[in-house]
Structure 1
Amino acid sequence: MDLKIPNSEKTNDILRNYLAIRLKLINPKIRKVLVNPNFVKEIILHPKRKEIELIFNIAKSGRNLNYFQSKRVIQSRFHDHLLNEWNIYHFHLSSEKDKKSKFVKQVDSLLFVYITDDVFVILGTDKHKYGIFADTKWIEILHDNFPELISQYKIKHWKDVNPKVNATERQTLWDKGYSLPMTKIRDTVYFSPGGGRMTSGHGMNVAESVNDILRWIYKLTDQINEYPKELCEYLQILPEKAKFKVQFGKEKLELVEIESKIKLLEFPEILIEKSELIKRIKTA
Structure 2
Amino acid sequence: MFTDKLNFESDLKFELIRLATQIGFKLSMNNSLDKMLVNYLNVHSKLIQPKLRNVKINPEFIKDIFFHTKRKEIEHIFNLAKIGGNLNPFQSKKLLQTNFHDHLKNEWNIYHFHLSLEINKKSGFVKQVDSLLFAYIDNENVFFLGESTHKQDIFSNIKWVEILHDHFPKILEPFKREETDDIKVASDYKNSALWRERLCMGFSKIRNTVYYHPGIGQATSGHNILIVRNSIGFLRWLHKLENQVADSYQELCIILGLSLDEAKFKIRIGEETLELIEEFSNHQLVKYPEELIGKEELIRQINSSNILT
Matched residue SS, 1:179: coil
Distance 1:178 1:251 in 2: 31
Matched residue SS, 1:12: helix
Cα offset, 1:240, TM superposition: 3.6
Contact 1:31 1:59 in 2 (8 A): yes
Is 1:89 the counterpart of 2:107? The answer is no
Distance 1:8 1:207 in 2: 20
C-alpha spacing 1:9/1:248, structure 2 compared with 1 (3 Å): farther
Distance 1:202 1:19 in 2: 9
Give the alignment partner of residue 179 of structure 1, picking from 182, 189, 200.
200
Matched residue SS, 1:150: helix
Is 1:61 the counterpart of 2:119? The answer is no
Matched residue SS, 2:163: helix
Cα offset, 1:100, TM superposition: 2.8
Distance 1:49 1:31 in 2: 22
Give the alignment partner of residue 238 of structure 1, picking from 259, 273, 280.
259
C-alpha spacing 1:3/1:261, structure 2 compared with 1 (3 Å): farther
The unaligned stretches of length 5 or more in structure 2 are 1-22
Give the alignment partner of residue 205 of structure 1, picking from 226, 241, 247.
226
Q: Number of residues paired by the alignment?
A: 281
Q: What amino acid sits opposite 2:118 in the alignment? A: E
Distance 2:269 2:169 in 1: 37
Is 1:116 the counterpart of 2:153? The answer is no
Cα offset, 1:69, TM superposition: 0.9
Distance 1:228 1:155 in 2: 50
Structure-2-length-normalised TM-score: 0.80
Cα offset, 1:45, TM superposition: 2.1
CA-to-aligned-CA distance 1:200-251 (integer Å, 9 cap, x gap): 1111011111122123213422431342223222333322443322233455
Contact 1:8 1:14 in 2 (8 A): no
Task: Name the structure 2 match of 1:161.
Answer: 185
Cα offset, 1:186, TM superposition: 1.1
Contact 1:219 1:270 in 2 (8 A): no
C-alpha spacing 1:4/1:71, structure 2 compared with 1 (3 Å): farther
Distance 2:272 2:129 in 1: 30
Distance 1:81 1:269 in 2: 32
The unaligned stretches of length 5 or more in structure 1 are none
Task: Name the structure 1 match of 2:13.
Answer: none
Distance 1:125 1:145 in 2: 16
C-alpha spacing 1:50/1:253, structure 2 compared with 1 (3 Å): farther
Distance 1:164 1:119 in 2: 26
Is 1:73 the counterpart of 2:95? The answer is yes
Task: Name the structure 1 match of 2:158.
Answer: 136
C-alpha spacing 1:26/1:266, structure 2 compared with 1 (3 Å): farther
The answer to which of 114-123 and 243-252 deviates more is 243-252
Q: What amino acid sits opposite 1:81 in the alignment? A: H
C-alpha spacing 1:283/1:123, structure 2 compared with 1 (3 Å): closer
Is 1:195 the counterpart of 2:216? The answer is yes
Is 1:221 the counterpart of 2:245? The answer is no
Query: What RMSD, in angstroms, separates the aligned Cα atoms of the two structures?
Result: 2.7
Q: Percent identity?
A: 46
Is 1:3 the counterpart of 2:21? The answer is no
Q: Which runs of 4+ in 1 moved over 6 A?
A: none
CA-to-aligned-CA distance 1:79-102 (integer Å, 9 cap, x gap): 112211222111111121124301
Structure-1-length-normalised TM-score: 0.87
Matched residue SS, 1:209: helix
